[in-house]
Structure 1
Amino acid sequence: MAGTDTVSGKTRPETRSDLAGLEAGLDALETAAPRARSPWRETLLRKTLPPLVAAALVLAVWKLLVLAGVTDTYKLPDPSAVWASLRRLWLEGTLLGIVWTSVSRGLLGFFAALAIGTPLGLLVARVPLVRAAIGPVLSGLQSLPSVAWVPAAVIWLGITDAAMYAVILLGAVPSIANGLVAGIDQVPPLYLRAGRTMGATGVRGARFVLLPAALPGYVAGLKQGWAFSWRSLMAAELIASSPDLGLGLGQFLENARTDSDMPGVLLGILLILFVGIAVDLAVFSPLERRVLRTRGLAAAR
């Protein structure tokens, strides 16, 4: 086995060659050129074309089911009827208002949940007594369907915007806090010791050591928190609908159900789905890829 000669104290030739090879390999890793980004056409074909093809297939199957007459048209309307409903809302100038009413509520509720869930997650992760007391409660709240809070929120706060935000907070805060706790639990203890050595303790340690190191888990919690925020809001708007709240996507869907307007019902479902996917693709997926890429956990794309 290669090593140091115990008699002469000199490094054997084979050991020197192994070390040289190792150093060359490390130098190659450090000086490797960054992976070139894919051309925009390739990116378009790889990322945009597949979902468009999937959507086209869904529309084709939908159209075939309508033509085959598998059920009554008032239960499964033609895709053109849904398009006509969408076009009518656009021409009336109400489409963007309906979407923005819900999106603005969802974003405001999410940012409020972010402001509450982040310090709560830090406390739970770093204070054992708080974790023992609140940790199981957060896990239980995360598994509780958000729709279960709607009747209580309406009784407590009435059919108001406050009730909507309360349901959002109760659905999103546990997800954000638990995501941060999971991220902090995966931070190597060496990072914390190094931070304390350099004087990063307390709030400074949380800001400069804990949060950056726990960022992958934290971003995953934010992504899940937005999903819970959006789902919670739609449940609240569906159940606690009122003209005083303005017409959002949930209330639009409920109004269409009341009027037995199946094209409107399907349009409401598609708009809710579209907003959820759009926010994820525009905000959280790029943020998640960036964080993973800077950590060397995902290849550059």
Structure 2
Amino acid sequence: MPRTSDAGGATRRAGVLGHPIEHSLSPVLHRAAYRAMGLDWEYDAHDVTEESLPAFIDGLSGEWAGLSLTMPLKVAALPLVDFVEPMAKLVGAINTLLVQPVADGRQLVGANTDVHGIVAALHEGGVQEADAGVVVGGGATATSALAALGRLGVTRPIVVVRSRARAGALVRAATKMGVEPRFVSFEDAPHYLSRASAVVSTVPADAGAGLAQALGGSGGTLSADAVLLDAVYAPLDTPLGAAWEQAGGTFVRGTRMLLHQAGEQVRLMTGREAPLEPMSEALDQALQSR
């Protein structure tokens, strides 16, 4: 396939910002997409802190198509854009910044593709709709998970947190979304996990290990229709995921969320559907080499 640039002939640029950023797999995914689409675009990782973010964004030239953002920049970038898309406004975080040309210069648009990524990953696991759902964790990714479960029909999700006081942003977002979360402790979580059709864990693997132990010790058997998406992907197979599969449920790795949220970013930045298959193959190869 011949490679193309933008209408003006200049190579377009995009990239991922964060601190630290060396671990990011976004360059692997986006570059694979550009190769498959025949686009002569650049995509690099940039080490950017909250303090240096305003200057970086202010320096974006017309060759830039957009940025991927990691935490804590997903929140820090909100006041720096001209327009925030409705879902991102609800969630209170943007993981995508689009640079759009307008008559008098440019417009910066904030979007959130994490919600799309979670929904698409759960679809892969077989969840098309759900009435009982659980979110483990209370941070920014948990808020996106809450929105994703809402899209699937869960209006009264269970949220597993160690401290409700630290989940203020999630509570505010839930109110805007029209969902009514019930907060429970990690100790009580196995009871609700065993009854949910869709679970999204957003906590680190070691934090989920305690839940895995409790789930394994409960002696319960899950239906194959019970789907767990573990949003972390280091390690690929988490203790909670292993316990979930051992109990009979369906486990979806966090890399599937990563793939789909990146694919939606590619679509937003290029205006074309993302080539998910070559992106997935490149991701698998990168993970195998680590």
Return the TM-score normalized by structure 2.
Answer: 0.26
Higher relative contact order (CA 8 A, sep 6+): 1
Rg (Cα) greater in structure: 1
Higher fraction of helix: 1
Higher fraction of strand: 2
Return the TM-score normalized by structure 1.
Answer: 0.25
